[in-house]
């Protein structure tokens, strides 16, 4: 769980071959998504560094299906 000025929330991402390719954030009832070429809201930053070395202490893995549900709820493109 992470927090920003608007409250506490969750940050989900998909990594392939050691790089983050999509991510979605959920803060309260607000969703944001991003991938390399586009995002919502349009100014939502994809990532400064897409490299992924593995989970950090306290991170939890979710299934592909769970990520897809979050991605779709956030409005991410198919």
**For 65-74, what is each residue's pLDDT tens digit?**
999 999 999 9
pLDDT tens profile 3-32 = 445 568 888 989 888 888 899 999 888 899
Comparison of pLDDT for 75 and 37, the residue scoring more: 75
pTM of the model: 0.77
The pLDDT of residue 6: 54
The pLDDT of residue 36: 81
How far separated are the first and last CA of the chain, in Å rounded?
A: 26
| Inter-residue contact 52 to 17 (CB < 8 Å) | no
Strand order, beta sheet including 7-16? 2-4, 7-16, 19-27, 30-35, 39-40
The pLDDT of residue 2: 41
């Amino acid at each position: 769980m992470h927090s920003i000025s608007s409250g506490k929330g969750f940050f989900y991402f998909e990594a392939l071959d050691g790089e983050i390719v999509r991510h979605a954030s959920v803060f309260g009832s607000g969703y944001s998504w991003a991938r390399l070429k586009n995002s919502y809201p349009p100014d939502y930053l994809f990532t400064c560094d897409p490299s992924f070395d593995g989970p950090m202490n306290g991170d939890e893995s979710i299934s592909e299906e769970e990520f897809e549900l979050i991605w779709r709820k956030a409005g991410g493109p198919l």
